[in-house]
């Protein structure tokens, strides 16, 4: 079997192995092997670039644990940059087919912007258990802590916690996996902790479903900004400052969420087929 050619991409420290393919194979197992940071390439996921019959390009994204994600904001920006730079699509607004639906991406100078769709607030569609109402400041008890979680979907499920202590001091590596796997979330959940620093700035960390803590998360940054506006902490345009860099989120309170940030190539390589 021929070796697999790949390109390593990163978007504010959220890194991906990007592979062009038209084939079916064991992508879940391959994701686990390639994403391993000591014995593999090292990444937060693999992204497949696939021809689409309904959009300019199709994207599939697999987490390091082999699970397939419905959406990935930073991944879409990496895919858009990859496809435009290689002439796979036009150098303008492009449409991307994902498990979470069609999305649009466009270059804005050196940055890439993605329309992330409208946030979903109905509990059974996020999904969370036990209610159909919006989930705002839901008290979830984890290790003796009462976490007031605001939950929503950005095509994948998120639980946002606003805290007063610096996000750097929060034991995310301990609490994160327990929130992710809590029975309240039937499809697991991405967990974000956030400090509101002003009307247009938030500092945050993210525990990603299937990946653990990452330096950045596009859908997570969108969820944080949406939750902040729901609480009237912030306005329409918010800079979410993550360990890997800053993402700018624009949401008018009723329509699609827009995500803007850097996406760039790191290196190319081949993986034994």
What is the rounded CA–CA span in Å between residue 267 and residue 215? Answer: 19
Residues assigned a catalytic role: 72, 217
Helix axes 73-85, 218-230, angle to 10 degrees: 130
What is the rounded CA–CA span in Å between residue 164 and residue 154? Answer: 25
What is the rounded CA–CA span in Å between residue 228 and residue 223? Answer: 8
What is the rounded CA–CA span in Å between residue 85 and residue 268? Answer: 14
CB 247 within 8 A of CB 218: yes
What is the rounded CA–CA span in Å between residue 34 and residue 76? Answer: 19
């Amino acid at each position: 079997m021929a070796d697999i050619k790949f390109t390593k991409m990163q978007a504010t420290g959220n890194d991906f192995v990007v592979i062009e393919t038209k084939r079916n194979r064991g992508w879940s197992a391959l994701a686990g092997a390639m994403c391993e940071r000591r014995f593999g390439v090292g990444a937060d996921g693999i992204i497949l670039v696939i021809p689409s019959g309904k959009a300019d390009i199709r994207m599939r994204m697999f987490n390091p644990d082999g699970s397939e994600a419905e959406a990935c904001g930073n991944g879409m920006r990496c895919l858009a940059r990859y496809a435009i730079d290689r002439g796979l699509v036009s150098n303008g607004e492009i449409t991307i087919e994902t498990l979470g639906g069609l999305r649009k991406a466009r270059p804005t100078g050196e940055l890439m912007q993605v329309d992330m769709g409208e946030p979903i607030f109905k509990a059974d569609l996020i999904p969370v258990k036990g209610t159909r109402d919006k989930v705002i400041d839901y008290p979830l008890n984890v290790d003796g802590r009462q976490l007031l979680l605001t939950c929503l979907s950005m095509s994948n499920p998120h639980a946002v916690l606003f805290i007063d202590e610096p996000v750097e001091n929060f034991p995310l590596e301990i609490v994160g996996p327990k929130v992710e796997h809590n029975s309240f979330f039937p499809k697991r959940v991405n967990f974000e902790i956030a400090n509101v620093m002003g009307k247009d700035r938030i500092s945050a960390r993210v525990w990603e479903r299937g990946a653990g803590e990452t330096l950045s998360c596009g859908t997570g940054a969108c969820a944080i900004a949406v939750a902040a506006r729901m609480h009237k902490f912030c306005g329409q345009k918010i800079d979410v400052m993550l360990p890997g860099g800053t993402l700018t989120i624009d949401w008018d309170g009723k329509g699609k969420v827009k995500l803007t940030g850097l996406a760039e190539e790191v290196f190319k390589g081949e993986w034994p087929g």
